[in-house]
Amino acid sequence: MGNREGTIPFKKALAEMDLTKVARPRQIITPNEGRSVLRRSPVKTLTPQERIMELERENKLLNEEITKLRRNLLIDEMTGLGNQRKYEQDTTGIFSKYIRELDDYKKGRGKKPKGIELVVIDGNNLKKINDTLGHGLGDIAIKRLGMAISNTIRTYDFAYRKGSGADEFVIILETDKVSSKTLIDRIKHKLNEINNTQNTSTEERKLRFNVTFAEGISRIDEVVSYKLAGYNPGLIEKRLFELAEKRMYSKKREMKGV
């Protein structure tokens, strides 16, 4: 097959081509250019000890990130208190310890365990605030109540926002004294301070947006018999919470004059 007019054989064209004048994308480099880059930026070879130290640093950072993620899984995002998962985890441990220590005490193998108080706190009129003023101010009310609790409890007390999207808070105290009433007074005082200092926006001043709450308290010796027959951590938690919640609702009716 003859050549078409104006064309030349491929091999001849390739031989005559001046490759030095062909433009190429800059992301493509020649072997010589690559060696030049490596000479300018030599790769440091780590000793075994240096490599071990580097791996240890990476492992530490990874463990810190895992710890942070696990902690976030147990914290209520809105208030910073423990969430429902944390509540269930802690109450299982607290009441298992109580049952074990009480059983040992009955058998003469240890001291009588400390008493336990469970406090249920519920914000007043939060549903009304959500329905009439909007969920934005309802969230503010929940945050204020959570702040008052977290700023008042002691380091060895336990506090939670119970349930998903719930308005109820729970505090657990391990104590032989009836100290929850004093704690409630302090939370009310702290909440009053927060109400006064945070009523700064025009909208909140106009609404006189003050958060209040009702509480109910139960003690473990009210729900656990000395015999301990048939008791388990879940049953103790259930009875303590139900009794405290019942008293909280009674307090709400009392505050409303019903």
Both tokens of 251, joined, read: 């307090």
How distant, in Å, are the alpha carbons of 56, 104, 119, 153, 219 from that of 123? 48, 40, 13, 17, 22
- Residue 56: partners with Cβ closer than 8 Å, 6 or more residues away: none
pLDDT, tens digit, for every residue of 65-89? 776 666 668 899 889 999 999 999 9
**Which residues in the chain land under pLDDT 70?**
1-43, 67-72, 134, 164-166, 198-209, 226, 258
**Spatial contact of 17 and 9, defined as CB atoms under 8 Å apart:** no
The pLDDT assigned to 63 comes to 77
- Residue 147: partners with Cβ closer than 8 Å, 6 or more residues away: 79, 190, 194
The pLDDT assigned to 36 comes to 62
CATH numeric code, 84-256: 3.30.70.270
The strand pair at 158-161 and 168-174 is best described as antiparallel
Does residue 91 sit in helix, strand or coil?
helix
Does residue 159 sit in helix, strand or coil?
strand
Helices (H) and strands (E) in the chain, counts: 9, 4
The pLDDT assigned to 206 comes to 45
The pLDDT assigned to 89 comes to 94
**Spatial contact of 119 and 244, defined as CB atoms under 8 Å apart:** yes
> By C-alpha distance, which of 110, 74, 70, 97 is closest to 237?
97
Strand order in the sheet with 116-123: 158-161, 168-174, 116-123, 213-219
Rounded Cα distance, 113 and 242, in Å: 22
Where would I find the beta strands (DSSP E) of the chain?
Answer: 116-123, 158-161, 168-174, 213-219
- Residue 246: partners with Cβ closer than 8 Å, 6 or more residues away: 216
Does residue 75 sit in helix, strand or coil?
strand
